[in-house]
Amino acid sequence: MQKNYVFAMATFFVWTFLLLLATAVIFINGDSRPNVLFLIIDDFRPALGSYGEQVITPNMDQLAAQSIRFTDAHAQQALCAPSRISFLTSRRPDSTRLWDFMSSYWRDAAGNFTTLPQHFKENGYYTVSLGKVFHRGRCSNFTDDYPLSWSIPAFRPTTKRETKKNKLCPGPDGNLYSYTMCPVNVTKMPKGTLPDIEITESAISVLRSLSRTKRKVKGKGRHKVMPSTDGHPTPHTPFFIAVGYHKPHLPFRYPEKYKDLYPIETIEMAKNPYFTTNLPPVAWEHWKDVRKGEDIPLSAQGVDYYQPMPDKYHLLMRQAYFAATSYIDHEVGRVLSTLEEEGLAGDTIIVLLGDHGWQLGEHQEWSKYSNFVSATRVPLIFHVPGLTDKTQRHHHHKFPLMDPFYRTRTNRPDLETPSVNYSGESRYTSSTGRYPGFVSNSLVELVDVFPTVAELASLPVPPLCPVDASGVALCTEGVSLVPLIHHITDTPSKVKVTNWKNATFSQYPRPSLFPSHKTNTPSQDRIAYMGYSMRTKKYRYTEWLSFNNSNFNVSWGDPLARELYIYSQDPLEDVNVADMSENVQIVRELSYQLGLNWRHALPVFNEDTTTVSTPTEWYVK
């Protein structure tokens, strides 16, 4: 234990030294390009007040109130590693050839693809990875893709490994256990902290090291950079900082005070906590990881894979997820308030997203590992200074740290949540956002993030990938959302949006047609079936097809199972109607379009480049 502690501290000091050294080296020329703060939250469904949920997230809601938020954004696979590699390369899982955690490093298995941070680094940005950005291990070459993607080695919290396997959750008998739901006294944790708190502290340290606060004066628009005493201009190299938080990923280990925000009597069951009618067995996920906790009275071995979560634990799980979310909201708030304290908020693009959704009892499902919308849908927020914050009333501060406990302490649920910033000022904004910001209900995907951020920062926008893009380093299988952002914010643009993409696409692998012990995360050599899912505004249609894990061929045209959900009749995806005779024509047309794949759902630019339109409105009327 002592050796591990010494090693961890040595690693931290070495990382800090490299950070300071790199900071000193890169500041050589002035640069007016915007910075980027990229916030990734693990297993994060849109459980935000600004998305209409009864979750206390005042800091992220404050960000949303000065941003554009996309309400219908979806991951390409509901699993951490494939999703992250997908949106960080802007390629879909079949292109990165990663459908699990550890089978391959995409640069070796699929192609030497340029990543989002690498694109910024190659264009003169200082790029930093803090926490869980790439998934750890073989899929990121055991280095988080350093040095290709990052200017300095990626920072991982020193307490992560210690808290992963140790029994740290206090039980009613005073002993420690491996619980799924684990509110803790932070001071009693290893090193007196938690991994996500470590990540926040590192982010604050980085932002302070990059700060220009002491050598700037306020001018119109951006802060001006003052010359130093030796007569040379004070340098400013733009940064791309990615901050990846671990929670609310399992286990739900969070500071115990956040549990007080959610009295168990106020927690409601999921709206549809029952098994989906006519669901094919291959589409079912038995949430083995949830069953591992010593506080859940279910077998992790899955003797009965369809055993429902008892109502008591259903409510406790939802309570713990919400509490962990409020915890992360506070950590995000600490980073955002520091960004402003250090004089960097005025010229920093902020992106906040979840790597995929998380099922909280919907469809009798828990965790991710499926194509249900509750597993693929994520929050996606873009803050662009001077563009998305123009509806916000003028306040002295953009991101004062918000207090989630204000209403609890005052016992006044009717009061809005106050913010208390570093200067002691207070202002009020409701947890759902007094200023709603901009909202887009268009269908968007996480593969769209890379080209969007590049265009917002005025970097070269990756072109659309050709069909065979294995030898193409920089391209996208998504589309920039900037035309949508300009359209929603009513900002002049060369491109006008008339129609947007018609569908989003996700997929999930299975080793067998029936639930088994390895159903949720099969390794590549065990994948035998792939569920390809397409979602439009009217339907979600899925085909489960044979998949050859050696040559990656798919048996298109010969589905072993199908799913169809018609949103006008079934908005929560509770009844699979794919085999009903009255839907034969709908299934035929959707099957054809699914086979054509995502390329035929993208918007296209007219030759005069003045409008954006789609091909025909091909999905069924």
Cβ–Cβ < 8 Å for 166, 191: no
**Which of the following is catalytic: 74, 119, 135, 600?**
135
Active site residue 80: yes
Amino acid (1-letter code) at residue 598? W
Question: What are 431's two structure tokens?
Answer: 């947890």
The number of residues making up the chain comes to 621
Amino acid (1-letter code) at residue 593? Q
**Which of the following is catalytic: 80, 139, 465, 475?**
80
Amino acid (1-letter code) at residue 374? S
Q: How many angstroms separate the CA atoms of 553 and 524, rounded? A: 13
DSSP letter for 178, please. Answer: -
Q: How many angstroms separate the CA atoms of 385 and 389, rounded? A: 6
Give Dmax over CA atoms of the chain in angstroms. Answer: 81
DSSP letter for 227, please. Answer: B
Cβ–Cβ < 8 Å for 437, 65: yes
| Rounded to 5°, angle at Cα 88 from 371 and 71 | 50
Q: What are phi and psi of 560, to 5 degrees?
A: -90, -20
| Rounded to 5°, angle at Cα 449 from 441 and 388 | 60
DSSP letter for 313, please. Answer: H
Q: How many angstroms separate the CA atoms of 557 and 577, rounded? A: 19
Type and span of the H or E element at 95: helix 93-96
Catalytic positions, written as ranges: 80, 135
